[in-house]
Structure 1
Amino acid sequence: MAILLHRALEVRLSRLQELLEPKGWAEEEEQLHQVRVSARRLGAVLDLVDPEVYPEHKKQRRALKGLVDTLGLPRELDVHSQFLRSHHLNARTPTLAAVIEHLLEQVDRGRAKARRSMEKELDRLRLPDLRRLLDVPALQNPFQTTSLQEAAWACLEPRAASALGGLTDLAAHEDAAAMHKARVRIKKLRYAVEALESAFAESPEPVLKGLRALQTALGDHHDLAALEALLWQAEADLRLRDRVTLCGGVLDLLGDVAENRRLAFDRFVALTQAQGLETFTHLVRPALGLPPLNGALS
């Protein structure tokens, strides 16, 4: 298990270093997004390993979290900009197009400010030190009396319980903050399954497909909920300045965003009908080559 996870660290660290190598990577929207995803994947494996084995674990885990957090606001504003630009192309009236142009100016100013702050923070993080993450002392007694498959399940079971155990409650009441936290947990569970894929006797792709679908629905909901909050703030600011026409246009756009958010929530609710801890257990344990648990679905 230690060897499998160390190899997963090597692969994911190599990918992150490859993405960070080109100068100006943070200036490209897609490259920034890929760096953030890669850092999350590496962090998910660090959550699986024994931190006592890696002397740099605590320091580098903190640096990775700092990287992900630093890229968060620029990425969110990139998504808002993409949404507004797509709506600008399909604006129903010249007035709505003008409203979206006004909003884009605000978002773009925010993007420029966020990127300036990001560049300063990236310099402080000293990311090249991440290469020391793989430094490992000689292990005195690395072997345990368990199979690789049981060890993999021991890693996945608590993460699955945390990520999937409360889906029914989430589906019963739309709560944007709680859904965003659930998305993060589901994403970490998916990355953990991917990191442990070599332990599976059969491909875990059906499990990964279900997790990706949940993650996508929750991600769409989060992006739209965040944009909705931004638009409400913009509408309030315009109202204070007596910009009646612009206010009306923002409210029209808000109607579209709210409708898309509700559709994303409906997709999430539908997906929860086929997902959950029991379903995960039912699929994963046989794929690992393990017998079903008592009380699990047969």
Structure 2
Amino acid sequence: MRTQSSSHTKATKTKIPKFDAQLSLGEVAYWAIQKHVKKSTKYQDGVLADRNPENLHQMRVGMRRLRTAIDVFGPAIDLPDAAQRSNITKIARQLGKVRDLDVLQLWFQHYLSIVSTSTDEGVQIQHVLERLNKRRQKKFSQLPKLFKSKIYRQFVAAYGDWLKKPQFQSVAVMPVLDVVPDLLLPLLSQLFLHPGWLVATETLEGRVYPIVGMSMETLDQVFVQEGPDLHDLRKQMKRVRYQTEFFIPFFGQTYQAQTQGFRALQELLGVFQDEAVLSEFLVGELGIYWSDQLPSLAKLLQEERFRNWKKWQALQLKYLDPKFRRTLSRRVMSPSLEFMATGSQPN
């Protein structure tokens, strides 16, 4: 059922000036979508100018956050076909192909800054970087076509029309504070039940704990066998982070600190994924025995992984603690209490 109440119409004329207990789910949904549509499109010229890779990164992040907003507020909004999640995914995937190569370029450039370019490894990395640059140029050449494509033009037009005259589902009139727990609790449940938490663990006296004291070689095997679970956990953590950040204005500082904790954990898992992407790229360029050609690089990556693994295990232990899980679940069940006490405002 579509609705368009007067309060929603008012929200289309200006940004929401203040977050208070009277806001409806639809008003908050409108604010979130408006914010991330703007971020998803304002970097287009900067991307095409190709002077700063941050423009592409920010546009891709905007697309991801917009996609998350649709996931969060799906029960409250009624979007046209061209604005649906699937189209955002297609656009973001094209941006991601170039962004992934940008990240590799930056990594190899950093590595060249700490090794001598006259060494065998330095010369080899320079050759790899040259081939990477050519691949990146080829992928980047597709972006002007993307921005002129029918799918992108319809995407921009669809959101422009929706923001002028938004359509909502009937649940949009509900006070946002009443439904925040219903939106966040299922998300936390999916996170807590993810198999990635069980990577390299053991059960002692009925509790699950990380296995300590593993060697570098054993850890390498863990990533070969269970790396995909950690990668998928990173994606789930990113969804949790983005979705919980939408509701920071309705909670206090404790909740906000927790969202920062989600971000830190996502970024740590992202380091493992970056290493996997880098290794996969080198296999494609130099073969499965690339580490024999770049022994210093291989050693550096192994040592960094080992150090980061210890950081991960500390967080893994925290998230496996049932008391922590219950505390976090209770925290999202009472937004109004913290909100009324702090008077939080949006960023």
Query: Partner residue of 2:251?
Result: 200
1:55 Cα deviation from its structure 2 partner: 3.3
Q: Is structure 2 residue 279 aligned with structure 1 residue 255?
A: no
Query: Partner residue of 1:281?
Result: 329
2:181–2:334 CA contact under 8 A, matched in 1 = no
Which amino acid in 2 is paired with 1:19? Y
1:2 Cα deviation from its structure 2 partner: 1.8
Pick aligned residue for 1:39 from 60, 63, 81: 63
Measure, in 1, the Cα distance between the counterparts of 2:145 and 2:302: 35
Pick aligned residue for 1:112 from 137, 140, 152: 137
SS of the residue 2:142 aligns to: helix
Which residues of 2 match residues 107-256 of structure 1 at below 5 A? 107-124=132-149, 125-126=152-153, 127-129=155-157, 130-134=159-163, 135-137=165-167, 142-144=172-174, 148-166=176-194, 167-170=196-199, 172=201, 173-174=222-223, 175-200=226-251, 204-236=255-287, 248-256=292-300
Query: Partner residue of 1:243?
Result: none
RMSD: 2.9
Measure, in 2, the Cα distance between the counterparts of 1:10 and 1:228: 39
1:70–1:122 CA contact under 8 A, matched in 2 = no
Which amino acid in 2 is paired with 1:222? Q
Q: 1:34-79 deviations in whole A, cap 9, x for unaligned?
A: 0011111111111112367423166442222122111112111111
Measure, in 1, the Cα distance between the counterparts of 2:82 and 2:316: 35
Change (3 A) 1:59 1:265: same
Measure, in 2, the Cα distance between the counterparts of 1:262 and 1:205: 30
Change (3 A) 1:222 1:138: closer
Measure, in 2, the Cα distance between the counterparts of 1:25 and 1:187: 29
1:283 Cα deviation from its structure 2 partner: 3.9
Number of equivalenced pairs: 281
Measure, in 2, the Cα distance between the counterparts of 1:191 and 1:14: 17
Pick aligned residue for 1:100 from 122, 125, 131: 125
Query: Partner residue of 1:296?
Result: none
With normalisation by structure 1, the TM-score equals 0.81
Measure, in 2, the Cα distance between the counterparts of 1:140 and 1:95: 66
1:13–1:42 CA contact under 8 A, matched in 2 = yes
Measure, in 2, the Cα distance between the counterparts of 1:139 and 1:271: 39
Change (3 A) 1:165 1:33: same
2:29–2:76 CA contact under 8 A, matched in 1 = no
Measure, in 2, the Cα distance between the counterparts of 1:171 and 1:136: 48
Change (3 A) 1:30 1:70: same
With normalisation by structure 2, the TM-score equals 0.71
- Larger mean CA deviation between 186-195 and 90-99 belongs to 90-99
Measure, in 2, the Cα distance between the counterparts of 1:39 and 1:111: 21
Query: Partner residue of 2:315?
Result: 271
Shift >4 Å, 4+ stretches: 138-142
1:5 Cα deviation from its structure 2 partner: 1.6
1:91 Cα deviation from its structure 2 partner: 0.8
1:201–1:288 CA contact under 8 A, matched in 2 = no
Change (3 A) 1:53 1:250: same
Which amino acid in 2 is paired with 1:79? V
1:4–1:198 CA contact under 8 A, matched in 2 = no
Measure, in 2, the Cα distance between the counterparts of 1:156 and 1:96: 49
Measure, in 2, the Cα distance between the counterparts of 1:94 and 1:189: 44
Change (3 A) 1:288 1:68: farther
Q: 1:236-294 deviations in whole A, cap 9, x for unaligned?
A: 28x8xxxxxx874334423322332343333222222223643532443455538xxxx
Measure, in 2, the Cα distance between the counterparts of 1:64 and 1:285: 31
Measure, in 1, the Cα distance between the counterparts of 2:236 and 2:295: 33
Change (3 A) 1:4 1:78: same
Which amino acid in 2 is paired with 1:34? Q
Measure, in 2, the Cα distance between the counterparts of 1:281 and 1:138: 28
Q: What 5-or-longer segments of structure 1 have no aligned partner?
A: 240-245, 291-298
1:25 Cα deviation from its structure 2 partner: 5.1
Which residues of 2 match residues 4-19 of structure 1 at below 5 A? 4-19=28-43
